[in-house]
Structure 1
């Protein structure tokens, strides 16, 4: 879906853009506009993400202006811990939800997906991501191979989708933990290894099936598609 982002921090804006792109969404960045006034957003935007620091002293006014012109548009705020005191005013003005910084990619994608499902339930059924014979339904966390459903947990689904979206690219343990386990602190290495082993077996990610899901020494894991 189409997501508009108001963020004056280039580094964070790029992180948001990459995270949303990995989730299959189109992301456009917009200037913050004049203090206290809402910027002009594209009519086809399905969701708005606004960083609190884009309007440090008038975010509730900006949210109120946007919500007044487009009341059905979900609005997600990105806030620092020091900004939480003002959240009630922003939520009362029409913001839908918020996420505390520093941002975690996996959590951001899941939060955005939840808001989109809630706002557009009629548009969610057809959202399926395909990689060869694998079909991932991100809305229901259902995974199928050759149209045959596979029995996977939500974490196994998220882990498999992460590997397929980064096919051929080595992923560090820290990156995997951030995207699959989000804020769950101190996830044991054996937990990640167990989940990797399970999706390797359940999805048949072995050389005889054209894939290799292997550890990268002292780094993490990589899923490769082998030449037939």
Structure 2
């Protein structure tokens, strides 16, 4: 299983590589945007695509956020992505999540924490239980056997984590879940920034358009389908 580490700091790459290799993963390293894009493209063409990419937001252009957007619009849009961001750069973290990143880790970081995040994202993306159940609510339909979502019969391009979130909400309609609960039940994490959930809810609403039924229950969390229409965006 191949993991790509893209960072212009060779010390960061070396430390992360050692921790991931201890977990039995194969690691390839790149130091800037152009070499990262070239590596991803070459591996896609060869059939030996990376299973997860760790991208530094601040590496020489194209930066990690730009590469994340490129991956999401490329031949393997479901590739899990973790961004490395500077401590305190909240705008970069939100932009990264809105670009489709699965998670982010702030610098300086614990290499072991990053390795745990990598393992968590990989586990979640590879262990979705097979199912022939078709989930429907109004114009929204999900086919777990094909890992696809449709609105009014038209396919919707969701990232792996957006797909997981939609499936969870459809399977638990009319129930309120806090961001902490969604982080635990959908992401499988007992740690992490709650804005990850907020941004994914926002992206899912945008992609489903006016057919979404995600409501904000102020002070408590989110619910699917209580009154038949969503309430729009929220920071709750």
Q: TM-score, normalising length from structure 1?
A: 0.49
- Higher Rg: 1
Q: TM-score, normalising length from structure 2?
A: 0.47
